[in-house]
């Protein structure tokens, strides 16, 4: 009697019922998790890049040291006749790809964070 219960337990443990259903549920959940993490990473990269670009643009505007990718825009105040110079700085960085290349996504392009920062160029007296 005891051997019969043990064999019945072993047979029950060796059955693979439910493994296909489990796989069909886990694969979409894993893809959904990776997509959510990719969005979170992209937002955080953009926020960090924006903060760094704004700090760099402010520092460059104060030191009057510009890079080749920076733009200087000049505005004239018609009422007072004064000129206002703005520094527009661009920064592009590649975001790591966490989602593997799956055939149904068809996305081979790289993901990038592209930010712009603006600072007022102040002239020293």
- Tell me: the pLDDT tens digits for 1-30? 667 777 887 776 677 666 767 778 888 898
Contact 59, 87 (CB under 8 A): no
Six-digit token pair at 4?
Answer: 């019969």
Six-digit token pair at 41?
Answer: 């990473």
Which residues are registered as beta bridge partners of 17?
none
State which H helix or E strand residue 71 sits in.
Answer: strand 71-76
Contact 98, 34 (CB under 8 A): yes
Q: Where are the beta strands (DSSP E) in the chain?
A: 71-76, 83-95, 111-121
Residue-wise pLDDT tens digits, 37-91: 988 988 999 999 999 999 988 888 888 888 888 888 888 877 877 888 888 998 8
């Amino acid at each position: 009697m005891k051997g019969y219960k043990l064999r019945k337990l072993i047979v029950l443990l060796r059955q693979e019922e439910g493994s296909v259903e489990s796989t069909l549920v886990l694969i979409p959940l894993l893809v959904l998790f990776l997509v959510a993490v990719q969005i979170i990473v992209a937002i955080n990269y953009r926020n960090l890049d924006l903060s760094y670009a704004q700090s760099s643009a402010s520092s460059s505007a104060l030191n009057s040291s510009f890079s080749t990718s920076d733009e200087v825009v000049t505005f004239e105040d018609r009422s007072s006749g004064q000129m206002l110079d703005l520094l527009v700085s661009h920064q592009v960085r590649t975001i790591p790809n966490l989602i593997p290349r799956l055939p149904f996504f068809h996305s081979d392009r790289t993901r990038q964070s592209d930010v712009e920062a603006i600072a007022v160029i102040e002239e020293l007296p």
